[in-house]
Structure 1
Amino acid sequence: MNDVLEPLAARYLTWLALPASSTVDTSDEDAELVRAMPVVLRIERAEPPPRTALLEAAATAAVAVCLDERAAPDGEWHDAVRAWIDGRIRKVARRARGAHWQAAQGFPGLTVQSGAAEARALVPGLVAETPREIARLQISGSDLPHDEPGPPPGAVPVLWLNPHVEMTVGKAAAQVGHATMLLAALLHGVDDTAALDAWASVDYRCAVRVPTRPQWTDLHPADDPEAAWADRRVVAVRDAGFTEVDPGTITVLAQLP
């Protein structure tokens, strides 16, 4: 793996020793310097995709941009991706259809298809400098019904969405994108090349599921996230609380197969 995820790996290895209620202080941020990764979700009016498949596509696209050879040292995306990861890994999910979806393909990034769903993660940059064609895309007012995808396959990581928290499809897309990045960064940080290679062999595919509440309790890191990783191969996404959920909420638990 290239070095682009090293800052995130270092932070998460530290966070593993923190209680699950720990939060990130964002009070010192300069709004003009905030960086984010746009994640464009294809939601056609006539034939919207299944919610689960769309979230799986978004989760894979986000980590695939970071692990693409163009994000490696000397790659054309490296500086932009590294500058973003050096800060806070914000993602902004946006909806596109028709010509707007086609226009989004012209900006640097990767499109991933999962079943009937497609999502494109763009190379991150300053929010203040988001291209007009992307900034005009909205996510508010657009959601997808929950579906029943069945049991997850056994060969890919599973991203478990918090069953106690209702999230829009845009919010959930950002959270599962965080989850795949954290998982890749942690595997890099502990030098688990076998797990990374196995994941790469399936193109960083993943499954998104909503567990039962008892399942969530069993998986949850509680006050010992280090043990959750060691015993259950689980890492947690804690939200900063900018939208929809309270600061410190664990939105996703990512689990290795």
Structure 2
Amino acid sequence: MLPLSVLDPLVSRYAQWLALPGEATADTSDEDPDNVVLMPMVLRIERREPPARTALLEAAAAAALAVCLDERCAPATEEDPAGEWHEAMHGWISGRIRKVTRRARGAHWEAVQALPGITVEVGGAEVRALLPMRVADMPKELSRLQISGSELEPDEPGPVPDGVPVLWLNPDVPMSAGKSAAQVGHATMILAAQLHGEGLDEDLRRWASDGYPSAVRQASPDTWADLHPGDDPETAWRKSRVAMVRDAGFTEVDPGTVTVLAQWPS
């Protein structure tokens, strides 16, 4: 059974977050970098046979949500104790949601498979999303991996399959594959939270049973303009089932940048 209550903090905070001024970002001036809690995402990028960029991003989008809604994240009930991942996941979703992507290949990729998380494969591309952790607690299998160097050539993924959400990347904001992977991971989490908040849990369960598939696409300027919620994200969700990811601006993009528009299929 999906532990949908894990999403409750994100349901309540999404609307509050979007109500802030566009350039707003959290004040982290008093933050101890070692105590930052984030979800590491490891992208498998082999030197000789790198994955297709779109497939890698689609794998990242699915993996991030799969970890959040894994049965091991379930809260305690009268019948059962909390899942072994519940405390870590609940604490992360209740705070500042951050992700960091790292790249791995060969033996280093195999090593991270032993860390708590879920690996998703799409079209030969693989991503492992790990249980959130403090920066200071990162094991050596993870901390030794490079954050930079995750760029991949653009590809032509073809038509969007029927019945899957589309994660539209901002056409005016270039992002590395690593940054994009984190952003589409945010997007699937927000979509799931919005579905749960609307009481559309059956839709969410069907999505889960299929493995959280999505189509990541680079939006054209016209598509972006047509879908962008502007100053009324609540109406955009109700009428068009469009949610948006607005970045805090810690890396690559300016604070308040809308990086992804996530469109649930009608």
TM-score by shorter chain over 0.5: yes
Are the equivalent residues in 1 in contact too, given 2:65–2:189 (CA < 8 A)?
yes
Gaps of 5+ in 2: 76-81
**Equivalent position to 2:49, from 40, 47, 53:** 47
Match of 1:56 among 55, 58, 67: 58
1:123 equivalent to 2:131? Answer yes
1:96 pairs with 2:98: no
Letter aligned with residue 212 of structure 2: Y
- Range that drifts further, 41-50 or 151-160: 151-160
2:244 aligned residue (231, 236, 241)? 236
Partner of 1:114: 122
Deviation >6 Å, runs of 4+: none
- 2 CA distance for matches of 1:19 and 1:188? 26
- Secondary structure of 2:136's partner? helix
Instruction: Indicate conservation of the 8 Å contact 1:59/1:176, yes or no.
Output: yes
For each residue in 1:158-198, what CA deviation from the matched residue of structure 2 results, as whole angstroms up to 9, or x when unmatched? 11100100000110001001111111112112221132122
1:224 maps onto 2:199 in alignment: no
Aligned-residue offset at 1:115: 0.6
Query: What is residue 84 of structure 1 aligned with on the other side?
Result: 92
Q: Is the CA contact 2:24–2:248 (under 8 Å) kept in the aligned structure 1?
A: no
Structure 2 equivalent of residue 206 of structure 1: 214
The equivalent position to 1:146 in structure 2, one of 131, 141, 154, is: 154
Percent identity (aligned): 66
Match of 1:188 in 2: 196
RMSD: 1.4
8 Å CA contact 2:103–2:149 kept in 1: the answer is no
2:135 counterpart letter in structure 1: V
* Number of positions where the alignment pairs a residue of Structure 1 with one of Structure 2: 257
Task: Check 1:233–1:185 CA distance in 2 against 1; reply closer, same or farther (3 A cut).
Answer: same
Q: In the aligned structure 2, how far is the partner of 1:188 from the partner of 1:147?
A: 33
Given the two structures, how large is their TM-score scaled by the length of structure 2? 0.92
Unmatched 5+ stretches in structure 1? none
- Corresponding position of 1:29: 31
Give the counterpart letter for 1:207 in structure 2.
Answer: A
Q: CA deviation at 1:93?
A: 0.3
Give CA-to-partner distance per residue, 1:191-231, whole Å, 9 cap, x none: 21132122123111111001110000001011111111112
For 1:5, which of 7, 16, 21 is the aligned residue?
Answer: 7
1:104, distance to aligned residue in structure 2 (A): 0.6
Where 1:102 maps in the other structure, the secondary structure is helix
Amino acid at match of 1:124: P
- CA shift for structure 1 position 130: 0.7
Q: TM-score, normalised by structure 1?
A: 0.96
CA distance in 2, matches of 1:28, 1:228: 35
1:238 partner amino acid? R
Is the 1:17–1:226 Cα contact (8 Å) retained in structure 2?
Answer: no
The one-letter code sitting in structure 1 at the alignment partner of 2:44 is: R
SS of 2:58's partner is: helix
CA contact (8 A) 2:55 2:124 kept: yes
The CA deviation at 1:21 is: 4.7
